[in-house]
Amino acid sequence: MQTHNLGYPRIGNHRELKKACEQYWAGKIPAHQLEQTARSIRSFNWQLQKEAGINWIPCNDFSFYDHVLDTCLMVGAIPERYHQLVEEKKLNPIDLSFAMARGYQQDGLDVTAMEMTKWFDTNYHYIVPEFRAAQKFSFFHNKVINEFMEAKKEGIQAKPVLLGPISFLLLGKEKEEGFNRLGLINNVLPVYLEVLKQLDANGAYFIQLDEPCLALNLSGVELEVFNNVYRKIKTAFPQLHIILSSYFECYGTNLPTVLSLPVHTIHLDLVRCPSQLNDILATEFVKSKTHLSLGIVDGRNIWKNDFKQSLAAIQKAIDTIGKERVWIAPSCSLLHTPCDLDNETNEKVLTAEIKQWLAFAKQKLQEVVILKQLANGENNSVLQQQWLANTNCINNRATSTLIHHPAVKQRVANIAASDDQRLSAFNIRQQKQHKALGLPLYPTTTIGSFPQTKEVRSWRAKWKKGELTDAAYNDLLKAETEKAVRWQEEIGLDVLVHGEFERNDMVEYFGEQLAGFVFTENGWVQSYGSRCVKPPIIYGDVYRPTPMTVEWSSYAQSLTKKWMKGMLTGPVTILQWSFVRNDQPRSETCTQIAFAIRDEVVDLEKAGIRVIQIDEPAIREGLPLRRENWQQYLHWAVRAFRISASGVQDDTQIHTHMCYSEFNDIIQNIADMDADVITIETSRSQMELLDAFAAFKYPNEIGPGVYDIHSPRVPSATEMVALMEKARAVVPKEQLWVNPDCGLKTRGWDETKTALIEMVAAAKELRQAI
């Protein structure tokens, strides 16, 4: 029996990579210092996994920005607009990858960034590969070989991890019409074969090929490509040991193909799909020689593994195919969990009772190893103790009185039909709102947050450490808010925001004030590039003990005669970006949150806030990976949003905001949410993402983002007018708003100011053209 790990968090135990990258981008540290940080993170992770006793430790799971982007560099899929950066500017692969991810605006060059989208149903974002019909591939960046050799020098025979060729193509996008990207497989495969050849020559033994697209609904043609590709790999390298891994869902209808592939090991996500094991063990597969990697420790959540339950599954596998063919692993890469529970030392933040229920990446590896030892029949006093401790923690959580609040359960059980209905239909509300708000055509607004400068963050840090009093901290935030309000008035925005300076993160801020949530001090996970989030942990029934945002919104509104937009995070997003309970259905938890947000919306209205935005950027990413499960999810998710939004009068305008807006197949559900205004991210796709709304004749108002906030690049008014004209061509102007793609918290003030001044100018130009 072997243990392995599919991937370890790459940000560093204390977000060292984030800090180094950001300093490097700001020109504050040289390249070699950035690389030194990266090397020490890799080394730390490898040694930690070795000490945990994992047999096969991954390499190439590290990335400076994103592993899909790294794959683009590996196979030389560099979009043409970056070629001059290689040829003229001689950018090295790391700088090139940063330019591709973030755009490049320097020395008279102005190159836009690549698109980014959610990695399956996670809150991790990958860079979307771009393909052309005549796409050429070549082995361009040998990062995987370098990392393999680097591990070797540290005395570790690592298992290189690569995103498999088919998923690489499927996760990308055609940048011109008339071809299918999967047709490029015969062009890209030779590069993969070359990589495998070099890995083989350098002594690689196991190689993990991730094909997470096997968690999706695939066509017969696509499955045939899997057949061909994996047979070709086997023929080329009969001696290599390929571990094929997919995660986040069952293999479903792809299973027969997967089981027939000539690979050494097939990895199963037994957390998301426990039933899969029995299904497989009931087939002819049992007679084959292929190994099974049992992904039994949850790589997507932070709960301690239930050893008793896991051992039953492992035992079943051992009984049927024998110990030698069984591997034990986390369910997926640990990229999605925080690094180390041992970093949580403040009992006031995370109480001992709750902490004992948890396991982070490091602890999960220990669980994998303990499970192997237990399944192996090993017996010693340490193991016995570990077993006993696990049983105690699992029992403690099941019966803890911290978790259950009858009044909350009651409210959800007694939900009334009217709870998810606004008073009147949209057309009536729209008239009332126009009258009440008196906004011009093409109203301008922003999505909520303004730059979280070093100062703002340092105030919060000091306040948290007790170095700033509540009053002093509040005064600083008030001053910052007032500056933002004055400045928005000055440049002539129509609907203002208070700037969200008091918020660390759009989910954490609410979680901190809701009952049923708990926090960590260091529980960071990567969201995109250097950006990390610290998801709250929902451990118990959720309710809102007191108002959460009313004071800030009222203060900001008191400063101005313009409309101030109240700013909330929606129930689905709070659910989606938290670590959730695994002891009740997600829908149940979501409905509890929806009622808590509804209470806040009603209180904001009472306080005189007439425009309220309930952000739901995570609605789409919450979609189950398999279509057959979509409607069930959408039913409760849309209802949760409606519950949160439906407590107000007709003339209170409810906005919602979503990022990464590929809404083609769920546009009906988006319309069912019935927000008065929806702002979406569209600029990177040149308004292409608006097409779904246009085709559907989406009836409510829409603000298609006119500038990309993920990049420091500043667009011109002309560019934004051009984008809005594209929008106007497909959506009546009476329905259109002008706004950026998303919140501006990650940007600096200078670029924000220039960009928004341009944006307001764009709106004026559009109004004049009427």
Q: Which residues are catalytic?
A: 710
Q: Segment near ligand GLN (CB under 6 A), from 49-57, 246-254, 634-642, 739-747? A: 739-747
Comparison of 412 and 614: residue with beta carbon closer to ligand GLN: 614
Single-letter amino acid code for the residue at 153: K
The tally of CA atoms less than 13 A away on the side-chain side of residue 417 is: 0
Residue 191 CA to residue 182 CA, distance in Å, equals: 15
Spatial distance between the Cα atoms of 370 and 323, rounded to a whole number of angstroms: 15
Residue 745 interaction partner, one of Zn ion, ligand GLN, none, beta carbon < 5-8 Å per kind: ligand GLN
Going from the C-alpha of 313 to that of each of 215, 278, 296, 440, 681, the distances in angstroms are 21, 9, 9, 63, 43
Residue 615's binding partner among ligand GLN, Zn ion, none (Cβ under 5 to 8 angstroms by kind) is ligand GLN
Residue number, nearest CB to Zn ion = 742
Identify which of residues 529 and 617 has a Cβ nearer to Zn ion in the complex: 617
Please tell me the distance from the alpha carbon of residue 58 to that of residue 245, in angstroms, as a whole number: 13
Q: Nearest distance from residue 25's CB to ligand GLN, in Å?
A: 20
* Nearest alpha carbon to residue 234 among 225, 222, 226, 242: 242
Instruction: CB nearer to ligand GLN: give 254 or 553.
Output: 553
Q: Which is nearer to ligand GLN, 252 or 705 (CB)?
A: 705
Among ligand GLN, Zn ion, none, what does residue 449 contact (CB within 5–8 Å per kind)? ligand GLN
User: Could you give the 3-state DSSP secondary structure of residue 441?
Assistant: coil
State the binding string over 670-699 for Zn ion (x if CB under 5 A, else -). ------------------------------
> Are 711 and 683 a contacting pair, CB within 8 Å?
no
Of the residues 164, 443, 523, 617, which one makes contact with Zn ion according to CB under 5 A: 617
Of 285, 131, 261, nearest in space to 209 by CA: 261
Q: Cβ neighbours of residue 671 under 8 Å, at least 6 residues apart?
A: 696, 698, 699, 700
Question: Minimal distance in Å, beta carbon 683 to ligand GLN?
Answer: 14
> Using CB under 6 A, which of the segments 3-11, 619-627, 667-675, 740-748 binds ligand GLN?
740-748
Three-state SS for 91? Answer: coil
What share of residues in the chain are helix, strand, coil (percent, to 5)? Answer: 50, 15, 35
Work out how close the CB of 514 gets to ligand GLN at its nearest, in angstroms, rounded to a whole number. 17
Tell me the HSE value of 81 on the side-chain side, using a 13 A CA sphere: 15
Least distance (Å) between residue 573 CB and ligand GLN: 8
Listed ranges 273-281, 404-412, 550-558, 738-746: which one lies at the site for ligand GLN (CB under 6 A): 738-746
Dihedral Cα 396, 401, 403, 405, nearest 10 deg: 160
Nearer to Zn ion, 266 or 659 (CB): 659
Q: Give residue number: closest CB to ligand GLN.
A: 743
Q: How far apart are CA 303 and CA 583, in angstroms?
A: 10
Half-sphere exposure of 380 (CA within 13 A, CB side): 5
Residues 563-602 vs Zn ion: string with x where CB under 5 A? ----------------------------------------
Which residues in the 339-358 window bind Zn ion by CB under 5 A?
none
The nearest distance, CB 658 to Zn ion, in angstroms, is: 7
Which residue lies nearer to Zn ion by CB, 736 or 742?
742
According to the binding rule CB under 6 A, does residue 191 interact with ligand GLN? no
Would you state the structure tokens that stand for residue 523, as one six-digit string? Answer: 């529980």
Least distance between ligand GLN and beta carbon 548 (Å) = 14
Residue 506 interacting entry, from ligand GLN, Zn ion, none, C-beta within 5 to 8 Å by type: ligand GLN
CA distance 604 to 608: 7
- Closest distance of CB 525 from ligand GLN, Å: 15
Name which of residues 596 to 635 contact ligand GLN (CB under 6 A): 615, 617
Q: With respect to ligand GLN, which residue has the nearer C-beta, 249 or 681?
A: 681
Question: Would you call 533 helix, strand, or coil by DSSP?
Answer: strand
Site for ligand GLN in 492-551 (CB under 6 A): 500, 506
Site string for ligand GLN, 561-600 (x = CB under 6 A): ------x---------------------------------
d(CA 257, CA 240): 20
Q: If contact means CB under 5 to 8 A according to the sort of partner, which of Zn ion, ligand GLN, none does residue 567 touch? A: ligand GLN
Residue from 11, 297, 659, 724 that binds Zn ion (CB under 5 A)? 659
DSSP letters, 231-275, are: HHHHHH-TTSEEEEE--SS--GGGHHHHHHS--SEEEEETTT-TH
CB of 311 within 8 A of CB of 374?
Answer: yes
CA-CA distances (angstroms) from residue 184 to 77, 79, 130, 132? 11, 15, 12, 9
* Interaction partner, residue 321 (ligand GLN, Zn ion, none; CB < 5-8 Å by kind): none
Q: Which is nearer to ligand GLN, 657 or 726 (CB)?
A: 657
Burial class (CB in 10 A: 0-12, 13-18, 19+), 631: exposed
Q: Which of residues 649-688 bind ligand GLN (CB under 6 A)?
A: 657, 659
Indicate the residue among 674 and 741 with the shorter CB distance to Zn ion. Answer: 741
Question: How many chain residues touch Zn ion (CB under 5 A)?
Answer: 3
Q: Which partner from the list Zn ion, ligand GLN, none does 298 bind, CB cut-off 5 to 8 Å by kind?
A: none
* Site residue total, ligand GLN (CB under 6 A): 13
Partner that binds at residue 448, options Zn ion, ligand GLN, none, CB closer than 5 to 8 Å by kind: ligand GLN
Q: Judge contact between 140 and 75, C-beta under 8 A.
A: yes
CB atoms under 10 Å from CB of 282, counted, come to 10
Q: What is the CA 354 to chain-centroid distance, rounded? A: 25
Q: Which residues 440-479 are close enough to bind ligand GLN by CB under 6 A?
A: 447-449
Q: Quick one: what does residue 645 bind among ligand GLN, Zn ion, none, with the CB cut-off 5 to 8 Å set by partner type?
A: none
Residues 717-756 interacting with Zn ion (rule: CB under 5 A): 742
Min dist. Cβ of residue 416 to ligand GLN (A): 30
Run of H or E including 58: strand 58-59
- Of 500 and 621, CB closest to ligand GLN: 500
Report the residue number, 477 or 619, with the smaller CB distance to Zn ion: 619
Site membership for ligand GLN, residue 742 (CB under 6 A): yes
Contacts of 663 (CB under 8 A, 6+ apart): 620, 670, 680, 689, 692, 693
Applying CB under 6 A, which residues contact ligand GLN?
447-449, 500, 506, 567, 615, 617, 657, 659, 742-743, 745
Applying CB under 5 A, which residues contact Zn ion?
617, 659, 742
